[in-house]
């Protein structure tokens, strides 16, 4: 059995401030899940912390591209170094964010090593880019577009490795059924999207098993799972920056994650977006920790 290694990536560089003079609270995610004893319950090895730069958008204005771009580029390389080390060692790496932009660090690390896919478990596809939006700015809503080579070069072509992910190696699960425009774009690109409704119709477990096995195809080295807490319904996970209704229930998420995370082809997991500032009694954090632990077959 592979070692599970937990690495903290407490970066909030990819989100907009929730209010003037404040910063996004998702940088506290890792600490909050550690308070739920996630490391001990996973029987994991300590992977330490990759400390992010200070959150400071400076004089950024709409139309300037991605804010915090230089800091994001630096942090992506730094996190990629840590993830690469553990993947090379054969460890199953769990990265606790942070906002969704930390996924760029994992994607860059895997691109250095070969050809890996991404299974994004998320309420929305995080596929905003200059070709479909004038509202570029927050990398936490753009990280899959950036990882597939769409967007500004200082984030899409680090180390000359653009794209970090090929379109055909990306899968989306848990996208809300009403995001029709986003789904249409992804369909045109032949990027598979499984909505909440699809999961309920076809069965999360069966879909996940088929997906995990697809990454055993010749030429592929494996896949990474990206979990955005907002894939859960706001009734059980209100502690996110942008709660979208009609999400997954905890049992549905567990049924989806378990076959993915226990697959020998899975290289790791990122857990993102949960904001402890929005969860004063830690109920949502406890649920998130319980779900991740159970998905690995632990208690």
DSSP, residue by residue, 84-107? HHHHHTT-EEEEE-SSGGGHHHHH
Cα–Cα distance measured from residue 104 to residue 88, given in angstroms and rounded to the nearest whole number: 18
Token pair listed for 203: 């069965």
CB neighbour list of residue 125: distance below 8 Å, 6 or more residues apart? 144, 172, 175, 179, 182, 186, 193
Residue ranges of domains in the chain: 4-56+66-296
CATH code of the domain made up of 4-56+66-296: 3.40.800.10
DSSP 172: E
**Helix, strand, coil abundance in the chain, percent, nearest 5:** 40, 15, 45
Cα–Cα distance measured from residue 265 to residue 283, given in angstroms and rounded to the nearest whole number: 32
Q: What pLDDT is recorded for position 227? A: 99
Cα torsion 232, 238, 239, 244: sign: positive
Cis peptide before 105 (omega within 30 of 0): no
Digit-by-digit pLDDT tens for the chain (299 residues) are 799 999 999 999 999 999 999 999 999 999 999 999 999 999 999 999 999 999 999 899 989 999 999 999 999 999 999 999 999 999 999 999 999 999 999 999 999 999 999 999 999 999 999 999 999 999 999 999 999 999 999 999 999 999 999 999 999 999 999 999 999 999 999 999 999 999 999 999 999 999 999 999 999 999 999 999 999 999 999 999 999 999 999 999 999 999 999 999 999 999 999 999 999 999 999 999 999 999 999 97
Token pair listed for 128: 């905003």
* 3-class DSSP state of 193: strand
């Amino acid at each position: 059995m592979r070692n599970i290694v937990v690495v903290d990536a407490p970066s909030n560089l990819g989100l907009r401030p929730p209010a003037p003079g404040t910063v996004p609270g998702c940088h506290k995610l890792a600490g909050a899940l550690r308070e739920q004893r996630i490391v001990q319950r996973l029987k994991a090895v300590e992977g330490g912390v990759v400390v992010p730069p200070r959150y400071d958008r400076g004089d950024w204005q709409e139309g300037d591209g991605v804010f915090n771009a230089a800091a994001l580029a630096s942090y992506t390389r730094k996190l990629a170094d840590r993830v690469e080390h553990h993947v090379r060692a054969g460890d199953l790496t769990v990265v606790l964010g942070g906002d969704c932009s930390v996924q760029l660090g994992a994607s860059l690390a895997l691109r250095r090593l070969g050809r890996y896919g991404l299974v994004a478990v998320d309420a929305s596809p995080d596929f905003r880019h200059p070709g479909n939006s004038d509202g570029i700015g927050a990398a936490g809503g753009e990280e899959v577009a950036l990882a597939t080579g769409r967007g500004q070069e200082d984030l899409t072509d680090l180390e000359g490795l653009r794209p970090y992910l090929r379109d055909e190696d990306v899968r989306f699960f848990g996208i809300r059924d009403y995001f029709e425009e986003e789904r249409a774009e992804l369909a045109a690109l032949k990027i598979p999207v499984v909505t909440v409704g699809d999961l309920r119709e076809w069965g999360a477990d069966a879909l996940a098993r088929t997906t995990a096995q697809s990454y055993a195809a010749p030429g592929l080295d494996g896949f990474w799972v990206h979990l955005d807490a907002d894939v859960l319904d706001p009734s059980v996970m209100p502690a996110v920056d942008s709660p979208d209704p009609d999400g997954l229930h905890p049992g549905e998420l567990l049924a989806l994650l378990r076959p993915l995370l226990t697959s020998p082809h899975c290289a790791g997991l990122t857990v993102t977006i949960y904001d402890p500032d929005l969860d004063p009694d830690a109920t949502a954090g406890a649920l998130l920790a319980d779900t991740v632990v159970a998905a690995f077959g632990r208690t």
